Amino acid sequence: MTMPDRALILDFGGVISRTMFETHDLTEAALGLAPGTLTWRGPFDPGRDPLWQDMQADRITERDYWRLRTAEVAMLTGRNWTQMSDFVRAARGADPDAVIRPEFREAIAKARAAGVRLAILSNELDLFYGTDFRDKLPFLADFEVIVDATHTGILKPDPAAYRLCLDQLGLPAASCVFVDDQARNITGAQAVGLPCVQFDVAQPARSYDRALTLLGLSKG
């Protein structure tokens, strides 16, 4: 008996790649900053990151958060950056593939082997990483649908963002599993009936295991 069509829909950000919070040492080395210069840690130490707390409380948007951090680091390094992608390119250099989570690679290999289709639903893939970023990540060829609000202008948690992705997949919400690290985006997905996993950046393997389980796949 053939399995019904299923899809794994992933946010990009901290779900697929290690976050900027996790790679401060690499950023400092790349930008010539002394070790320990960057102290904001977002979800890893929210009590010491007031901007992160503001974002979680919806006083500022995620784009606002990174715009302010980009300006802060630009001032520290004397750069004239105008957007987040300038920061990311400078911090992560020519090899963004090096910060992709191994847990992500393992999960999509299992999903593909089981015939699960793959999609990305991001609010700012090209905005944050730059349009040339995709060319440096060969695994993106395995994703048949990439919906990026940089171009659509429809940001999660707007229900229309999820529906656009589902329409492109041609699948009902119940046949998909959505993974995102932001609670507001999980709430938005639940509103359209998507089974969800709120990704824990501190426990990526466990989060991917939960997503695979929801898809009916064994952890082994």
Q: Please, which pLDDT band fits residue 84 given cuts at 50, 70 and 90?
A: confident
**What is the band of 1 on the pLDDT scale with cuts at 50, 70, 90?**
very low
Handedness of CA 75, 150, 65, 46 (dihedral sign): negative
Average pLDDT score over the chain: 92
Find the mean pLDDT for residues 182-192. Answer: 96
pLDDT score for 206: 97
Strand-strand pairing, 196-198 and 176-180: parallel
Predicted pLDDT at 130: 76
Q: For the whole prediction, is pTM greater than 0.85?
A: yes
Residues 155-169: tens digit of each pLDDT: 999 999 999 999 999
Class of domain 7-17+100-214: alpha beta
Per domain, the residue ranges of the chain are 7-17+100-214, 24-96
- Res 42 pLDDT > 60: yes
